[in-house]
Each structure stands twice: as structure tokens, then as C-alpha cells.
A = this chain, B = another copy of it.
């Protein structure tokens, strides 16, 4: 369930005009921007962008970028983008960092359904004139490259059929590899990057039943290296994205100095999808409502915007 509160009826013209007023002249009316954009779903935001461009011959996103700043600007900009385009931007930013942010790439590759991932790959090409896997492969090497490129280029079967025999044999292959600390074994990458999600869940369940411990726990048994951590994230994203995102939020908030990048990313990408479930999971794990934790760790317009996306009524 989503947390976004958007009206069933709205006028893209009125919204575009109000947004124009908010960014025109001296100073910016951040509250006005939050009230509108923080309450519009992806289709509505798209209509507003189109109408705004027609009315004022300027790109709304560029204007917002130039009027706003800091975490608030990044959150509003990312939110206002089309979801697939937003993921393309997030992936590109992650790749271009001095140290690639693997988690963002793995999230995009493993949380989305096959058609959504494809939409991100398309949007990436439109924006950057390269393929996603091309840039990713150029900026990585070795085992991490093998894993990430395989995950990003996957177009998994999306059906619900389960082959129980296969789940059994591949749970064993995974267990043998982990036991031997051959995490980078090509069979591990093959299984995780080609099998359907339904099949993988059956495999992970079989693993847990046969070996008395979940595969993700087994992976982090002792001092895990980068590759192990990446595998761990991939398995969590494939298996239970909501639980995974709860953990990302927890880590982002609890550390000294909030990780605003991660906080923004999860709230912005999940608000129209499953942020309500993630909020519930957060409360169960932390005994503090997510809104309260976010309010404590953030401030100003950035805080107001995140709380709006989290479903706070004005």
C-alpha cells in the first residue's frame, strides 16, 4: 500500500499556474510546491510537467532545480520525475560516484518486475545515450561486475510456476558454494540472475528448510567482503523488498549524521507503492513511528516534504 495522498480529480492547468507563482519573482514558495507536488501521483505529475511546459515554455524540473537547493531540491526533483526516469537518474548517479553505490543498482535490478526494469533501461538510454549495462560494465571490474551486469540485464520469466526439483538442486548448489566460500562461483550468479522470482523464493525456502538457516544469514556469517554484501542485498531485494527497505531506512536514520541520500531514495521511490507496509515494518522493528524518526532527523522544507510523502495530512 502506498502512503501518497493524491486527489482523484485535479487540474493540471491550475497546478501549473500555482507552481509558476511559487517559483516566480523574489523568493520561492516552498510550501506551495510541497502542497501541490507532494500530493500528485506519477500520472498527474506528468500532466503537470506537460502543461507547465506548454504554458511557460520552460521545463518545470529545470526551474525547480534552479530555485531550490540541498536535500529538499534533490527530493523534489527526483519525486517529480517519471518513476523509470528517476531510477535511470539514481542508477547513473550511483555509477558515477568515485566508489559505485552497488546497493542502488542492485535495488533497481532486483526489486522491480521484469517490465519495470526494462522501462528503466529504456529511460536510461534516452537520457544518457548509452545503455545502463554499458556504463555499469565500464565502471566496474571482476566479480562485482559479473554479478551487477547479470542482474541488470536480466529479463526474468514473470510467471508463478515452481519447479520443486530445481529448487532443491539449486538450493544445494548455493549451499555448497557458500560452504566452500566460493561466493563468486558462476553458478551462484547464474541462479540469482536468471531464475524467476517465484522460483528463487522456492529455492531460498528450500535452502532454509534443508540447512536450518536462511541463505542471507549464511552469507554474512563472518567478515563479509564487498561481493558477499552485494549478494546479500540482491537476495534480500529479490526475496522481500519491504523488509529490505525497512532496513535501509533504519540504517539511514540511526547512524550519526543521517544518510539523506538513502532516506530520500526510499521515501521517494516507494511512496506510491508500498511505503505504508514499509512504515508498518519499521514500527514493528523500532517501536517508533517512521514519521517521528524522520521528523527528528530532518528539518525545514525537506522534512515537510518527506512527511507529506509519508502520508501526513496537511
- Cβ–Cβ < 8 Å partners of A155 in chain B: 118, 121-122, 125, 131, 133, 153
Interface residues of A in 173-223 (CB under 8 A from B): 186, 190, 193-196
- Cβ–Cβ < 8 Å partners of A150 in chain B: 149, 153
- Cβ–Cβ < 8 Å partners of A137 in chain B: 190, 194
- Assess whether A99 is interfacial by the CB under 8 Å rule: no
Kindly state the separation between the CA atoms of A131 and B146 in the bound complex, as whole angstroms. 19
Interface residues of A in 142-178 (CB under 8 A from B): 142, 145-146, 149-150, 153-159, 161
Q: Is the interface of A mostly helix, strand, loop or mixed?
A: helix
- Cβ–Cβ < 8 Å partners of A158 in chain B: 125
- Cβ–Cβ < 8 Å partners of A154 in chain B: 131, 133, 153
Residue count of chain A within 8 Å CB distance of chain B:
31
Known: A133-B194, A194-B133, A196-B131. A153 touches B153 (CB 8 A): yes
- Assess whether A284 is interfacial by the CB under 8 Å rule: no
- Assess whether A254 is interfacial by the CB under 8 Å rule: no
- Check A125 against B186 for contact (C-beta < 8 Å): no
Kindly state the separation between the CA atoms of A118 and B154 in the bound complex, as whole angstroms. 11
- Assess whether A314 is interfacial by the CB under 8 Å rule: no
Q: Which residues of A contact B (CB under 8 A)?
A: 118, 121-122, 125, 129-131, 133-134, 137-138, 141-142, 145-146, 149-150, 153-159, 161, 186, 190, 193-196
